[in-house]
Copies of this chain bind each other. A is one copy, B any other.
């Protein structure tokens, strides 16, 4: 039998983060985070999409667990939650080297593009400071029509 403990593997950031808090590493949690790591940062999935991507590869995870896990991963700052309205929130891998990024959304077909702009980030920081708020996250959502949808 191969023992997990026979050679000490580095605990992943997810695992150690969980343990710090009395929480546990589970296959479900690992799978959800891996999925986001595989597709890379900058791509957003809805809870439903995460669920169907995982179950389509034979894994069995319940939708309720997906929701719970997504919430957890957001709180642990592994994921970023976007609310582009129109049918559910979306989640993406939070890459800590990029700062917040912003979204350009076609309200008709849902196509979204990302961009970054330091002045926007800065504006959020200044506003928070002026009102004595502690900034958590800022998101600029630009609602627009993409080239294809303009003529519909």
Residues of A participating in the B interface, judged by any CB pair closer than 8 Å: 83, 85, 89, 102, 104, 106-107, 113, 115, 117, 119-120, 123-124, 126-128, 130-147, 150
The reply to whether A127 and B123 form a contact with Cβ atoms under 8 Å apart is no
Tell me, rounded to whole Å, the shortest Cβ–Cβ distance linking A75 to chain B: 12
Pick the contact of A139: B104, B123, B141 (CB < 8 A).
B141
What's the Cα separation between A145 and B123 when bound, in Å? 16
What's the Cα separation between A97 and B115 when bound, in Å? 28
Pick the contact of A145: B85, B119, B133, B141 (CB < 8 A).
B133
What's the Cα separation between A150 and B136 when bound, in Å? 11
- Please indicate the chain B residues that have their CB under 8 angstroms from the CB of A102 in the complex: 123-124, 127
Pick the contact of A133: B85, B130, B137, B144 (CB < 8 A).
B144
- Please indicate the chain B residues that have their CB under 8 angstroms from the CB of A132 in the complex: 146-147
What's the Cα separation between A133 and B128 when bound, in Å? 30
- Please indicate the chain B residues that have their CB under 8 angstroms from the CB of A117 in the complex: 123, 126-127
Given A83-B83, A115-B127, answer yes or no on A133-B120 (Cβ-Cβ < 8 Å). no
